[in-house]
A and B are shown apart, each in its own frame.
Chain A
Amino acid sequence: AQSVSQHNHHVILSEAASLELGCNYSYGGTVNLFWYVQYPGQHLQLLLKYFSGDPLVKGIKGFEAEFIKSKFSFNLRKPSVQWSDTAEYFCAVNAGYSTLTFGKGTMLLVSP
């Protein structure tokens, strides 16, 4: 069975700081990888996804993630965060036609 581990439960940053949220998964085969964002009081929205090809994936709002197969990782990055990036971020993985397995989420608080 697949599992997803997000290393940080809470992250606090100042505006303009760089962000990196860790995500590791356990599955030996081909996977699809996702990052979802949930702004306060809202539903989960897709931030970016990786299916195949270039392991560096660019998403909305300046976010990107890099798939490193040898490390089973799919870390999310943003060079300069804004107050409006305050949200909870979920990493998710599925293999083939299986359902998505979500990590427990990382709450990001950006102080102005």
Chain B
Amino acid sequence: DAGVIQSPRHEVTEMGQEVTLRCKPISGHNSLFWYRQTMMRGLELLIYFNNNVPIDDSGMPEDRFSAKMPNASFSTLKIQPSEPRDSAVYFCASWTLGKASSGANVLTFGAGSRLTVL
């Protein structure tokens, strides 16, 4: 498996522009997570989906952030409009819940999308 695939790896944009980050989870995983990592706040869970349904979006900073998962193999995190304080590395991760002996319950991270908002 190619693992969790994120794009773009790097994005530099200007304040006010729309940013869309993309994620393809590991095939067969039924849960997908979006995290944000900064030096100041560390690793923060933004939102997660189970079977394509958003379960908990309490970590989403504000209405400028939105996430979708239209199918089991694709998710987007959108920021509109973007602000300099959104600069961070955004990680997508996935797992499947089940019996530990089957290899389930292990969260696998993508390589991340480094966002810089000028």
Contact = CB atoms under 8 A, between A and B. Distances in A.
Interface stretch (B16-24, B65-73, B79-87, B102-110): B102-110
Contacts of B105: 32, 51, 94
B8 to A, nearest CB: 15
Contacts of A90: 43
Given A43-B112, A44-B91, A105 B42 contact: yes
B43 A105 contact: yes
**Dominant SS among interface residues on chain B:** strand
Given A43-B91, A52-B100, A90-B43, A99 B109 contact: no
A104 B97 contact: no
| Interface residues on chain B, size class | 10 to 19
Contact of A45 (B33, B42, B48, B109): B109
A97 B48 CA distance: 13
B111 interface: yes
A90 B112 CA distance: 17
Contact of A99 (B43, B45, B108): B45
A9 to B, nearest CB: 10
A82 to B, nearest CB: 23
**The 6 nearest A-B residue pairs measured at CB:** A51-B100, A43-B109, A44-B109, A97-B97, A43-B111, A43-B112
Interface of B: 33, 42-43, 45, 48, 56, 91, 93, 97, 100, 105-112
16 contacts: A32-B100, A32-B105, A44-B93, A44-B109, A46-B106, A49-B106, A51-B100, A92-B107, A94-B105, A97-B97, A99-B33, A99-B45, A99-B48, A99-B56, A104-B42, A105-B42
